[in-house]
Amino acid sequence: MLIAIPDLLSSDQLGEVRGIIDAADWIDGNATSGAQSALAKRNEQLPETSDAAQRAGSIVLDALAASPLFVAAALPLKVFPPLFNRYGEGQGFGTHVDNAIRIRRGSDFRIRSDLSATLFLADPDSYDGGDLVIEGQFGEQQVKLPAGHMILYPASSLHHVTPVTRGTRVASFFWIQSMVRDDGARRILFDLDSAVQSVAGDRGQGDAAVVQLTGVYHNLLRRWADA
C-alpha cells in the first residue's frame, strides 16, 4: 500500500533540516548502491556517518515517533537511520528494487526492508521532474509531494525517479522493518485501526462496539506480528 504522511516535518523542523544538510559536503550517491542500483543511479548523497546526516536524521526520527499516522501505517519495529540525497539537472534514478536487507556501514545494525520511505525536502515548485514513480498492481503511481510530506510504499516495489530538468530535488530516504511482514496484513490492520478511530470519535472509547473492535485489532496484530 502507498500511504502519504502529510506535514511529517513542521516548517521549523524542515528549516532546521535544510539548514544542516545544505551546508554539508555531498558525495556521489552510489556510495550506498547495490550492484543493480549503481547502473541506474545518478545523484548526490550525504555520507551516512557524517555529523550532518546524523543530526538531520535525528530530527526526522523524532518526527516519525510523534506521528500516529506513520506508526499506524508502518507498525515499525526498526527504522534505518535516515539518509539524504539530492538530484540536480539531468540526474535521476532508473527503475530498480531496494535491497531486501539493509546494513549500516561500520556497525551490526541491519533491518529487513519491508517499507521504503521518501521524505520530500524541497518545494515542488522549485524543480521540474524528479517525480518518484512506483509500480504496483494497478499500474504506475507518480508521487511529488510538498516539502515536509512523506510517502510510504512497499520496498519490494519497482520504482524510479524521473530526471530533474530544472532546479534541485532534495529528499530524505530510508527503510522500515515492520512488526508485520506482509503488506496485505498491514493494509487490513491499517484500515481496521482507521475505522476503530472513526467509530470511537462518534461513540467514545468506552462504547461496547469500540472495545470489541479494538480487541479484534489487537488479536489480529498478535497473530501476525513478529516483534
Residue list for the binding site for 2-oxoglutarate: 169
If one counts every other C-beta atom within 10 angstroms of the C-beta of residue 89, the result is 15
pLDDT of 36 over the 60 cut: no
pLDDT of 39 over the 80 cut: no
Q: What is the pLDDT of residue 106?
A: 80
Residue list for the binding site for Fe cation: 96, 98, 159
The answer to which of 35-49, 70-84, 130-144, 155-169 has the lowest mean pLDDT is 35-49
pLDDT of 40 over the 80 cut: no
Name the percent of the chain lying above pLDDT 90: 89
Domain 183-224 annotated CATH 3.40.50: no
Residue list for the binding site: 96, 98, 159, 169
Residue 227's pLDDT band, with cuts at 50, 70 and 90, is confident
Residues 6+ apart with CB under 8 A from 54: 81
pTM for the structure as a whole: 0.93
Domain extents in the chain = 3-178, 183-224
Name the percent of the chain lying above pLDDT 70: 96
Q: What is the mean pLDDT of residues 204-214?
A: 96
Task: Take residue 70 and report the three cell numbers written for it.
Answer: 506513520
pLDDT digits (tens, 9 = 90+) for 66-84: 999 999 999 999 999 999 9
Closest CA to 70 of 144, 176, 217, 143: 176
pLDDT of 33 over the 70 cut: no
pLDDT of 35 over the 60 cut: no
What distance in Å separates the CA atoms of residue 83 and residue 48, rounded to the nearest whole number?
Answer: 6
pLDDT digits (tens, 9 = 90+) for 106-130: 888 999 999 999 999 999 999 999 9
Domain 3-178 sits in which CATH superfamily? q2cbj1_9rhob like domain (2.60.120.620)
